[in-house]
Amino acid sequence: MKSMFRVVRGFIRSMKKLLAIITGAVMVEVIDVILKLMAIRGFKPDSEVLRWPVDLALHKNPGITGDTMIPLVIVIPLTMVVIGCLVRFAWIKRKVNVMQAAGASVVVIGAIGNLIDRITHGFTTDYLIFFRLSAINLSDILIVAGAIILIGYNKGNPQSTK
């Protein structure tokens, strides 16, 4: 009987951890939406003079990573398929491996933020400009952070693929 209670207690702890990570990612995404609106309404375009090494400016990214041009009719459905696969993966892993579920969930939250941008504006709104070369937003940071959680957890735990 005591071992059953330990299992239940461990499950509840891991669900709390998952919920905390997802809540944090959603809060970051809300901040991202606010910054995107501010960028569209008031930031100067990135073609104007930028401070170095970091500046806030409006960069309209019409493609994917690094302004790689891919038509929206391809990017939007492909993004939806990836989001669907990651949601299913997170749902399956939620009881077995909470960190894999958390990593996938963080990627999904960031991807949804950029997807909404593409659907509403036809581009992704980037506003953090680094070294006058790289333009990103907080959704991008969530996607990378989630991927790092997924990769890092898999490499550190050989049993995580079970």
Mean pLDDT of the chain: 88
- CA-to-CA distance for 129 and 139, rounded, in angstroms? 14
The residue among 20, 29, 18, 25 whose CA lies nearest residue 100 is: 18
| Active-site residue list | 126, 140
C-alpha distances (whole Å) from 60 to each of 22, 34, 41, 92, 128 are 27, 16, 13, 36, 12
* Per-residue confidence (pLDDT) for residue 99, from 0 to 100: 93
Residue 127 makes CB contacts below 8 A (sequence gap 6+) with 35, 36, 38, 39, 43, 56, 57, 58, 59, 135, 137
Domains of the chain, by residue range, sit at 2-161
* Per-residue confidence (pLDDT) for residue 11, from 0 to 100: 80
User: Would you list the DSSP string of 99-125?
Assistant: HHHHHHHHHHHHHHHHHHHHHHHSSEE
- CA-to-CA distance for 17 and 23, rounded, in angstroms? 10
* Per-residue confidence (pLDDT) for residue 14, from 0 to 100: 85
Q: Residue 90 corresponds to which tokens in the numbers above?
A: 């997170």
* Per-residue confidence (pLDDT) for residue 26, from 0 to 100: 95
* Per-residue confidence (pLDDT) for residue 62, from 0 to 100: 87
Q: Which of 5-19, 54-68, 100-114, 144-158 has the highest mean pLDDT?
A: 100-114
Residue-wise pLDDT for 19-51, tens only, equals 999 999 999 999 999 999 999 998 888 777 667
* Per-residue confidence (pLDDT) for residue 65, from 0 to 100: 80
* Per-residue confidence (pLDDT) for residue 87, from 0 to 100: 97
CA 28 to chain centre: 9
Number of Cβ within 10 Å of residue 35's Cβ equals 17
Residue-wise pLDDT for 40-97, tens only, equals 998 888 777 667 788 888 999 988 887 888 899 999 999 999 999 999 999 999 888 8
* Per-residue confidence (pLDDT) for residue 159, from 0 to 100: 55
- DSSP symbol at 52: S
Q: Is the pLDDT of residue 162 over 50?
A: no
3-state secondary structure (DSSP) of residue 135: strand
